Chain A
Amino acid sequence: MTIDQIRQYIQEELLLDETAVIEDDQDLLLSETLDSLSVTRLVQHLESELGATIPPEDVTLENFSSLASIHAYLGTL
């Protein structure tokens, strides 16, 4: 799954704004760009797209703080 695909899902489905600018290294969590429900939806979407399970304990600041960190984490699954 590419960074752009993750970005597009966040823009269209979570932020409901296709034009929202989200840089690869932009913080998503501490800035509250994504609230807890949005993160849960994102995780479910990623699991569905990848056919993989993301353990709840892996949903941390380290792994989900930005598009780049999410992409890097998915590469470890």
Chain B
Amino acid sequence: MDFSWTEEQERLVGEVTEFARNELASDLVERDAQGSFSRDLWKRAADYGVLGWAVPVDQGGAGYDLVTTVRLLEALGEGCPDNGLTFGLGAQMWGVQTALLHFGTPEQVERFLPASMAGESLTAYCMTEEVSGSDAFGLEGTAIRDGDHYVLNAEKVLITFGPVADAAIVFAKTNPEAGRWGLSAFLVDANASGYTAHPVESKMGLRTVPFGKVSLRDVRVPKDQLLGKEGAGASIFTFSQGWERSLVLAPQLGAMQRQLDDCVQFARTRVRAGQSIGKHQAVSHRIADMKLRLETGRLLLYKTAWLQQNGRPNLMEAALTKTYLGECFRDSCLAAIAIHGGDGYKTAQGVERDLRDAIGGLIYGGTTDIQRNIVAGLLGL
């Protein structure tokens, strides 16, 4: 087993970290307070190539393998303290681009992928409804065939990029009698008649990436905007969720590295009662645990990405990764606040922002409870 990186990978990691530190960190306290999404930063990340890292070369991307890509996303998360932005980039890469690449027709890919990679078009992934949530396939939205079109009616909630998206992948029932097996997926233009993007909803963390409701009222979608086969919606969702579950938390590892470095520096230089606070085991042991969570999280993520890259089953590993990285970041955020004391509680320091952001990782893309259901089920329980 070889744990080393190539010189080229190391060079890329260094460059990405520097880019993120220099270009993707501006005005974060204000943007977090206002809950505002920066299209300018999104475009900067796209212009740097982030949204093409995992896209094959023949589709205009960089064609990096998945282990390299997650390492670069980790570097991005280390340099960029805007966890909302890095989460949004991951959601676009794994939820939207992966579905397009695997299920899109050549015409659909040509129409949507280049604009996505260029950061010129944002696509929302519209699955969740008020009645579904963790019962993902329990949605009620419908898509009824009418000649060369489907007529979509649905109320989607908690949709990342919903308020600002230029297009959407919408899941709806084409065969309502068949439950989850009657779902299909559609590519829908946000300017279609009957498509309504509702205002941004305020939330606890990840406040720099917008989410909200999307309504579809008698939206007529040409049949050539069906994504994949009719009735394959559940399988498409399961497939893209597998990718997202495996890889979307990669930037959080970088955030944990940034957090660890900050805590070590703080503990070494903060002097109380004549010695640095790092000399107190109550502080140093917390930092040791942060390092432990970071290193074990890395191993799990890289293994999961490697399995995914090589087409090997990774259902178990993906569920473990989603659960473990989510909970590790939360626990390290709490430790960071404890180490910083009152300073960690202040908004301007950014320490408390990481904690608010970390809670989102326990919920989106399938809650940690759902992930544990998957693990238990795979263990035959």
Contact = CB atoms under 8 A, between A and B. Distances in A.
Interface of A: 13, 16, 29-30, 36-38, 40-41, 44, 48, 53, 56-62, 65
Given A56-B236, A56-B239, A57-B103, A62 B231 contact: yes
Contacts of A58: 229, 232, 235
Q: Which has the most chain B C-beta neighbours within 10 Å: A16, A36, A56, A60?
A: A56
Chief secondary structure at chain A's binding surface = helix
Chief secondary structure at chain B's binding surface = helix
B178 interface: yes
B380 A16 contact: yes
A15 to B, nearest CB: 11
Nearest to B380: A16
A36 B315 contact: no
A13 B239 CA distance: 22
B231 A61 contact: yes
B228 interface: yes
Interface string B93-105: 0000000001100
Interface string B51-73: 00000000000000000000000
Contact of A56 (B231, B235, B377): B235
Contacts of A16: 380
Contacts of B234: 36, 59
B94 to A, nearest CB: 15
Q: Which has the most chain A C-beta neighbours within 10 Å: B178, B181, B239?
A: B181
Interface in B214-240: 228-229, 231-232, 234-236, 238-239
Given A37-B374, A56-B102, A61 B182 contact: yes
B313 A44 contact: yes
A37 B235 contact: no
B180 interface: yes
Contacts of B374: 37
Contacts of A30: 178-179, 181
Given A37-B377, A40-B315, A41-B315, A60 B180 contact: no
A13 B380 contact: yes
Contacts of B380: 13, 16
Contacts of A65: 181
